[in-house]
Structure 1
Amino acid sequence: MPTKEVEIIVYGAEVLCPSCVNLPSSKETYEWLDAAIARKFPEQAFTISYVDIYNPPEDSTKKEFAVRVIEEDMFYPVVVIEDEIVGEGSPKLKTIYKELEKYGYVQAGI
């Protein structure tokens, strides 16, 4: 079981990034990840939140990273787990699952 409840943050925007034209929106990616992770790691708590890079919350860490996404022209959505970037533009579930397993998350059926 997880050693702690991991926070997953999806940074994105309403408008698709110019290089991500045929991909789902940041918000759709956030919803898809939430459902996929809950299925893969049932009954294992995690927090997932969405941060609009053009309208970030007051939380200084999230606000600073949102500015970084814009300034560094990152492909969004950018998926961050415990301060580690694990996906940009079109995040890969396999990579995200591997990162969660580092924190003790166990896949269903194993």
Structure 2
Amino acid sequence: MSQKAVVNICVYGAEVICASCVNAPSSKDTFEWLKAALSRKYGQHCFDFIYVDINEQQSDREQTDMCKRILEEEFFYPLVTINGEIAGEGHIQLSHLHQKLQQLV
């Protein structure tokens, strides 16, 4: 029985909803929704879900850099990365994430 690699899914966000995403769910709600939806669809696959608050200090350099880019308004939040690659930002579309995940699972 082969073991599948862990897919890292990171959601960057803040408690305050992004000004450009007023009608979208909060970052934390997006994180919980993705966790449930992807676990249900890819139950046999191993995901590592991480939520990163962009307003808190991070110990990981990659996360610190991404938070800085979001705070400098280079990207909207919530921002989702899959294995370190940006998969969506602002109003997250599940279909776009599925396309990225199909390449990995």
- Is TM (by shorter chain) over 0.5? yes
- Aligned partner of 2:70 in structure 1 is 69
List aligned pairs for 1:39-78, cutoff 5 A.
39-78=40-79
- 8 Å contact 2:4–2:46 — kept in the other structure? no
Separation of aligned partners in 2, 1:37 and 1:47? 11
- For 2:54, give the aligned amino acid: I
Q: Secondary structure at the match of 1:42?
A: coil
Q: What TM-score, normalized by structure 1, do the two folds share?
A: 0.87
Deviations 1:69-99 (A, max 9, x none): 1113421100011121111111111111111
Any stretches of 5+ residues in structure 1 without a counterpart? Answer: 105-110
TM-score, length basis structure 2: 0.91
Moved over 4 A (4+): none
Contact 1:11 / 1:50 at 8 angstroms: preserved in 2?
yes
Aligned residues: 104
| Map of 1:26 onto structure 2 | 27
RMSD: 1.5
3-state SS of paired residue (1:49): strand
- The Cα of 1:42 is off from its aligned counterpart by 1.1
Gaps in structure 2 of 5+ consecutive residues: none
